Amino acid sequence: MAEKVLMKGNEALAEAAIMAGCRHYFGYPITPQTEVAAYMAKRMPLIGGTFLQAESEIAAINMVYGAAAAGKRTMTSSSSPGIALKSEGISYLAGSDLPALIINVQRGGPGLGGIQPSQSDYFQATKSAGHGDFHLVVLAPASVQEMVNLTFKGFDLADKYRMPVMLLSDGTMGQMMEPVSLDMGEIKEYDKSGWAACGTNCEREHNVVNSLFIQPDELERYNFERYERYAKIEAEEVMYDEYMMDDAEICIVAYGVAARVSQNAIDKARAQGIKVGMIRPITLWPFPKAVLNAAADKVKAFISVELSMGQMIEDIELATRCKKPVLLCNRVGGMIPTTEDVLNSINEANSVGGDK
Amino acid sequence: MIVFEKPKALADVPLHYCPGCTHGIIHRLVAEVIDELGIEGRTVGVAPVGCSVFAYNYFNCDMIEAAHGRAPAVATGVKRSLPENVVFTYQGDGDLAAIGTAETVHAAARGENITIIFVNNAIYGMTGGQMAPTTLPGQVTQTSPYGRNPEQVGLPVKVCELLSNVDGATYLERVAVNNVKNVKAAKKAIKKAFQNQLEGKGFSLVEVLSTCPTNWGLKPDKALEWLEENMIPYYPLGVYKDKTAEKEAE
């Protein structure tokens, strides 16, 4: 069995990125993702990698664009307001079919907001990470171990589907310490010679990395092709975790830190005889629609536990075709729902659903 | 004996540039330099947003299309990933001196070992002739229909002068392509800017004064005259910084 080490979430993900073969990190300082950059600044020079502090988030994501275009595994990390600045570059990555990993250690918003944990970038990450028709794969870790595993997985998915992938974390996941195993297994290599701009060596036609297609039918064709890939991802790459769903009459839907609080609440509710379980999306895009839709035929109500103003509710309602009511249990602005908050919602769902 | 042929680094396709535009000359100079240095196979070019947005179709080396103003950041990402390769950007004045000011200044400050070809024609050409950061005082454009008024919108940005105060920059020269003599001098500067990179000497930028007959509302020959009479006095030609000798000693 692999040896476990005690690590902070942000540092664990940084080490996982290195183990996944990432040697090119570009970032700009912002709380609460600082440890990622600090870790990279220490480690990269020792292993022949690049750590570069850019002049802005905009420059950092465009450096990532350059490194990705050159065929390298590359990443950036930031937090909510910084991700907003990166959205231009994220759209260009998607439009040019470039793989990259983008970490968002979310903080409260809107505007400058606060620096405490939040999940209020859900819409931004899953619906509109930039202009134009595109998606990111969005991965939501709920433990330090998952910060590690999903970083590794994120690089692989990015290369596999030639697209940017976002790890949607939050200040809690980033700051907390847990024992983790860094044994990630083999890195799968992908052949990038067909598209990477790394020099023709005068032996092939030139590669052009580009998102400009001035002929509308050509641009349409690229968009259609991209969405065929997205359909494949929706069919094959959905990840979620189920907790006590076998006999559940109430289903909590929560990700990240909200899922951890929810799990405690479920244990307490079960002790009171309430049949409640949880479906925890690990991929927020693709969203685990099928399992939720199936659950909607069994449970009497859903509760979306979030650190946002109910941004995930729409996805739950869409996935379940509004078959059952979806309650919201939330705190925002850097506040986190307590076990009691979730318990109260469970009791409410028990009575609301019971009236049906 | 062949006395004239297309540079190998230049693709054999029609350019989209307007008649009389000097982008074609500058493309050719860059391609000739790539040929002469024998670096096509390991060169990666970065095209901007603006008139030269399609430059990726015109050079035979690997090419990347960047977002507006971000070419120096993209080039940084490429060069840091492929230090043995040659990386250049080809940018206009709106791209480099307005929206991309931060990327330009900081690539210079870092002494990024890249080559920038900066085409200054004092106007946004691709979008139909709006005022650029380099539009001259009094110059009429679509968004300065009464002439650029310095009291309202300030004075033009002089990129070579500005960057000459950035310690990290190695080589800055302003050239023009309005006559044969200047074209020859421009090629020499462009070649030096690429050679500097090959020798690891750091950030090199060549500002090329260029014409925009279409949006200046002038015939091509008159545009060349306008460049000489109006742009060169405001943007004097010459070497603004050259630390290559110093870098040699390092």
Q: What is the average per-residue pLDDT within B196-206?
A: 98
Same-domain pairing of A174 and A297: no
- Domain assignment present for residue B14? The answer is no
Determine what percent of chain B is predicted with pLDDT higher than 90.
96
- Domain assignment present for residue B6? The answer is no
Q: Is the pLDDT of residue B248 over 80?
A: no
Q: What is the average per-residue pLDDT within B21-41?
A: 98
Give the total number of structural domains in chain A.
2
Instruction: List the CATH number of the domain containing A252.
Output: 3.40.50.920
Same-domain pairing of A202 and A99: yes
Task: Give the pLDDT confidence score for residue A356 in this predicted structure.
Answer: 42
Residue finishing a domain among A236, A256, A286: A236
A1: confidence class by pLDDT, cuts 50, 70, 90: low
A62 interaction partners in chain B (CB closer than 8 Å): 66-67, 70, 73-74, 77, 103
- Domain assignment present for residue B84? The answer is yes
| DSSP string for B14-66 | ---PPTT-THHHHHHHHHHHHHHHT-GGGEEEEE-SSGGGGHHHHBSSEEEEP
Range of the domain at B219: 23-249
Q: Are the beta carbons of A210 and B65 separated by less than 8 Å?
A: yes
Give the total number of structural domains in chain B.
1
Please name the residues in contact with A164: beta carbons below 8 A apart, sequence gap of 6 or more. A90, A93, A94, A98, A99, A100, A101, A102, A129, A136, A158
Same-domain pairing of A232 and A251: no
Same-domain pairing of A37 and A148: yes
- Quick check: A178 and A143 in contact, CB under 8 A? yes
Q: Are the beta carbons of A50 and B102 separated by less than 8 Å?
A: no
Please indicate if any CB of chain A lies within 8 Å of the CB of B212. no
- Domain assignment present for residue B130? The answer is yes
Range of the domain at A47: 4-236
Task: Give the pLDDT confidence score for residue B3 in this predicted structure.
Answer: 86
3-state secondary structure of A151: helix
Query: pLDDT digit string (tens) for B89-131?
Result: 999 999 999 999 999 999 999 999 999 999 999 999 999 999 9
Same-domain pairing of A250 and A229: no
Q: Are the beta carbons of B81 and A74 separated by less than 8 Å?
A: yes
Q: Is the pLDDT of residue A237 over 50?
A: yes
Same-domain pairing of A278 and A228: no
What is the biggest distance separating any 2 CA atoms in chain B, rounded to whole angstroms? 58
Instruction: List the CATH number of the domain containing B134.
Output: 3.40.50.970
Task: Give the pLDDT confidence score for residue B246 in this predicted structure.
Answer: 87
A184: confidence class by pLDDT, cuts 50, 70, 90: confident
- Domain assignment present for residue B4? The answer is no
Question: What does pLDDT average to over chain B?
Answer: 97
Please indicate if any CB of chain A lies within 8 Å of the CB of B57. yes
Q: How many CB pairs under 8 A join A and B?
A: 134
Q: Which of A62, A203, A207 sits opposite B66 (nearest CB)?
A: A62
Task: Give the pLDDT confidence score for residue B156 in this predicted structure.
Answer: 98
Question: What does pLDDT average to over chain A?
Answer: 96
Q: Are the beta carbons of A59 and B46 separated by less than 8 Å?
A: no
- Domain assignment present for residue B18? The answer is no
Same-domain pairing of A217 and A280: no
Q: Is the pLDDT of residue A90 over 50?
A: yes
Q: Is the pLDDT of residue A194 over 60?
A: yes
Same-domain pairing of A144 and A269: no
Same-domain pairing of A161 and A300: no
Residue finishing a domain among A236, A261, A285: A236
Long-range CB contacts (< 8 A, 24+ apart) of B28-32? Answer: B29/B177, B29/B183, B29/B186, B29/B187, B29/B190, B30/B59, B30/B88, B30/B90, B30/B117, B30/B190, B31/B7, B31/B59, B32/B7, B32/B187
B78 interaction partners in chain A (CB closer than 8 Å): 66-67, 69-70, 197
Instruction: List the CATH number of the domain containing A120.
Output: 3.40.50.970
Q: Strands of B135-197 (E only): list them.
A: 171-176
B247: confidence class by pLDDT, cuts 50, 70, 90: confident
- Domain assignment present for residue B9? The answer is no
Specify the DSSP class assigned to residue A356.
-
Residue finishing a domain among A217, A236, A255: A236
Same-domain pairing of A325 and A308: yes
Same-domain pairing of A251 and A188: no
- Domain assignment present for residue B2? The answer is no
A355: confidence class by pLDDT, cuts 50, 70, 90: very low
Q: Is the pLDDT of residue A185 over 90?
A: no
Q: Which of A22, A65, A90 best probes binding to B when mutated, by most B CB atoms within 10 angstroms?
A: A65
